[in-house]
Chain A
Amino acid sequence: MSGHVFHPGHEELHGVTVVVTGRSGRTYVGRYHEHGDRGLVMHDVAIHEPDAEPARDAWLERQQRFGVRVDQRHLIVPTAEVGEIRRLGALAS
């Protein structure tokens, strides 16, 4: 069975779908690319605004069940905005 990896040498979370809790209250769900000087680079990102409906937990549950509904193909979250980072797959569903 081929375990081909086309992009070795990246950070542990590279390519992993994560939930980023923003210090602004926004929540970002998408694939982690890299975290560097520019900030956290993510791909295929869904964004939840603090006051949006459904509320954050329900919104996260929907992303888990039906997949990530992409708002931004590519996004750089400034480092100052980046709070907790967790794997989407590790959240209790």
Chain B
Amino acid sequence: MPYNPMLVAPMRADMTRMGARELLTAADVDAALGDARGTTLVFVNSVCGCAAGNARPALAHALRHGVKPDQVVTVFAGQDLEATARARQYFADYQPSSPSMALLKDGEVVHFVHRHQIEGRPPESVAADLTNAFDRHCGAAV
């Protein structure tokens, strides 16, 4: 059962404040990911303070890096059920967890951050992994 929307509003605001676009329906997800070219970071948000409390600041930190994905979108696990289920179809090789992050390039998953790779790590450490992935996959080819 989803949490009270008022309780999760600050967690949604964290995401939009850093420039992520919320995908609230399956149609939103398909519009964003369906035939996406370039790079997209999908953040699966979560109420869980054990990991999401670090994951959101980590992504915010990483997005201040010079190289970053063309678009950043987010679905909220346990809240926006339809959108989350549809988003996970785009990275179906990976078991669902939340929070988690998938970096897609031309529709293919090129980097995935599971919940267990976030737990107990400071945001700066998770952000460093993300920016390394951004450098590898989001930079211009030379």
Which of A1-9, A34-42, A74-82 has 4 or more CB atoms under 8 Å from chain B?
A1-9
- Cβ of A89 and Cβ of B116 under 8 Å apart? yes
The smallest beta-carbon distance between A72 and chain B, in angstroms, is 14
* Contacting residue for B94 out of A3, A8, A15, A67, CB 8 A: A67
Known interface pairs A67-B97, A89-B120. Does A15 touch B51 (Cβ–Cβ under 8 Å)? yes
**Beyond A1-B14, A5-B53, A69-B95, 20 additional pairs, beta carbon < 8 A:** A1-B56, A2-B13, A3-B53, A4-B10, A4-B49, A5-B49, A7-B49, A8-B49, A14-B50, A16-B116, A17-B116, A64-B116, A66-B95, A67-B96, A67-B112, A67-B114, A67-B115, A68-B116, A87-B119, A89-B119
Chain B contact residues, CB within 8 Å of chain A: 3, 10-11, 13-14, 47-51, 53-54, 56-57, 60, 93-97, 100, 112, 114-121
